[in-house]
Chain A
């Protein structure tokens, strides 16, 4: 088992359910043991995470930590630093932590792993060495999600072909992929959703699917509020990730299952007279 210590550093005491942090870590390291507690240091509040993992993927760890930070920031709380080490903290006198906000990786940890993969990983993430620490600035990681590379895309044939390829069907596996786009004025959200996903759904119009896809796409983009305007022709652009069905954790039911309610309804062998959601 590999042991990793991770501290989340805040300016003041915060109330963040540890379960959320644990959930996000477990999503990337399902077979890990995670112990979380809190402590205080030099007027700062720390959430201390001790993690035992079978196998460590640095990329996954960084993604999980960025997601945790994103989640915390969304609730209006400023996360100053994330500090990673393999041992109990030895940094009590290290003031640089509070000057630059980002992810600090203890050089001892790097030495301990002595792994080319880790060094390559640090390089790939533009980590810089400061004393015996490796530092990945939050600004740098935010840069990756900035405007650069986001292209205006119309809900046209290209999007339809892309959707057909990545969503999968009964005869073809889909692939978890997302297309980063900027929507264009004059089109509705429905235009984008139907163009991207219609081919994957049952051609029979008695069967739905686009509504739940629309709400799931917005949910995963953290843009659920757009649901109020989904059928309006937009007069401004919106950055959106169009996730493939496998990425949305959705799957089209097997059309060979002749007893499935959706297949029966689409073939006309069953009439669904009414569906009422909720009491």
Chain B
């Protein structure tokens, strides 16, 4: 395992730090992906490649098109133009659920746990290929009971790993913001994805939980999965990512290892500068909501 990991990281060593650079072993490849809202070009990516087996961070100021790119890649939104492929399978017009089945599973910026289901039910939902989910066999427990048992065992193991086992029978709605992020990640693992895409995994998580969350993200890579995440928290980006892609105004403006990107003047201009400004000039509703949610979560925590 560890050898594979270092090999994966080593493969990136010779890759030059320039936007849209080809990778030695890409799991995702995209070309000329564009998406406009009204007159605004939210995403305009000429070429993107995501290296297999490493953690790639996608950063950029608010409105840079990171989440929109996520939505496009995972089939939650349709681009105006462009082609992209996952493991060589072209994904244009492929619906979101098929993308997930192929092994490319995402989480959401505003966590989407199913609050009126219990934690364990949330987990069971993630399992793939359930016979009991077919309408015709649903009424006959004998057809799906054994599979359900196996899925539950797997779910329990994951809950233990993510330290949610104590919350097993609680409604997911009663979890704190950080626990929701953990649950969403654990649930995504039930699908057994090759590529896991995390949209702001640190947003609304209280600082005490951040370290363990970081550890969990790293452990995803260590078990051989590819991770792509969007994040604002620069410490996290520096800490755990092997490669960083920087977006601004819909385009990829820089790429490279964390060290090289953080030192890049273009990035500081495009991202850090703009980001600092944006706090004053534009109010991002999603951010407002996130902040509100985080506050609420703090309030409801036991």
Q: Do A and B come from one complex?
A: no
